[in-house]
Structure 1
Amino acid sequence: MSTTPWQHIGVDWDSGAWVAVGYPTDGEPAVEIFETIDELWQEHGDSADRIVVDIPIGLCGSLDDPGDCLKHDETLSRRCDRLARKVIGPRSSSVFPSPCRAAVDAASDDATTYSELSETNRDHTGKGLTQQAASITEGIQQVDALLENTAADETVVEGHPEVCFRAFADEDLQFNKSTVQGMVTRLDVMAASTEYEPGTWRDLARQLDGNPGIGTDDLIDALGLALTARAGPDEFQTLPNADPLPTDAKGRPMRIVYRRSEPFAVEPSTN
């Protein structure tokens, strides 16, 4: 457990645990593993200015009541997801369709199968769920409960690591994050584009000696999100770049944040 309060935090959901990298006001970053997002909030919520999580926050409703989601060819999706795929180009498959609210609610029943979750999502959005999308429903539920019961909605925002790394690089990333080339590329773009110090990831990896199940790519993702959390007012960008932002039925923004001096030149569209 960290004894230093964290100000800027990046959090990656990994197989039922939260990999969190935090930057204090002064000093070097640290990494912790939390069983729940609430545990992270209890430890660092009072000191955090921004927490960027790799979990969808604003969720679509249904085709009958699309709200601010995009309805196209009898399917429903979040604008931020579509824009993220455009931004990251060859890595677009890493942005999978976010589960809708009904599917997330259905997942709270442990007896619900993947097939049933996928069918619920299809009934409401016209599309089934991938296994990856279904696997993050527990994380979505945890973040949703945190935002429901605390003042965290002023602090916790949604990010996507591939969008963040694309923003650092200012060019397409060609390699998957789990490959050696992909990891090296992501470390290089962090070093070139932010206040990241070369070798920081090794120091963080040493802190994970007691958690051998955490992948290096998940640590790098959390680090990229933490650096994104450090964005100043002139660097803090969102997909979509809109005012007001699209929101879901609970009033939560459907956006993906990233760090860049200028917003990406992509237009909110239905294509």
Structure 2
Amino acid sequence: MEILHYTFFQHALIGSLLTAIACGMVGTYVVTRRLVFISGGITHASFGGLGLGFYLGTNPIGMAMLFSVLSAFGVEWVSKTQNVREDSAIAGVWSLGMALGVIFIFLTPGYAPNLSAFLFGNILTIALTDILWIGVLAFCLVLFFSLFLREIMFVAFDRDFAHTQGLPVRTVEYVMMFFIAVTIVLSIRLVGIMLLMSLLTLPQITMNTFTSDFRKIVWGSIAIGFLGCVAGLFCSYLFNIPSGAFIILVLVVLFLLAKAIKAVHLRLKIEGRR
């Protein structure tokens, strides 16, 4: 337990909590709206921004955020106004982002940048600046969900019905796409580009095993996400392996455990009726 006295580990725990809050809220909307592959497309599109940032010698995270936000708005706009299927737009953004990232990184002068922290994640390297940014994001998400939870739930479950109720569906959709893009970029340090989509879905589907209540899924996803992050951090420290892989592995185990508990509960309930 002496590792808890290290500043870098304390930063990692704080970053894990704030990331779990952001991903828990955004991920519940993503899963409910069935936007999982959009989040995957945005995640991989951010790789193009990372490559451009390295090539220009600027902050790669800032460029990745720009790419992610533009990709999110682009997919939303193309699929809603240009008569292009959503999955086709996602595939285009996904492949374009990865291709641009590879090209820019190859053209970057000097030594090739270390991409492992961005591809596979290592929250043990998180800085105080990263914590401040993810803290601002978590605060904005909590504020937005507190003020507009009804509108978010209506749009997430049935956007057509939300239209009939006179709700600002398009505004909510674009604001949530913005939050999805920013959450993805600021969470790259935690699990990396290759695994980030799982952090936005596994805690949510684990909670969905026991409840369909939107609010309970949000809170449960935050708790499960933070638990997975903490367990992954300790395993990462002990085995000296990037934390992202361990975090996702823990979340998968929790999901399988939840499914097993649910199956046993149903079996006991059926036997009790007999």
Q: So what's the TM-score if we normalise by structure 1?
A: 0.29
Q: So what's the TM-score if we normalise by structure 2?
A: 0.28
Q: Rg bigger for which structure? A: 2
Would you tell me which structure has more helix in proportion to its own residues? 2
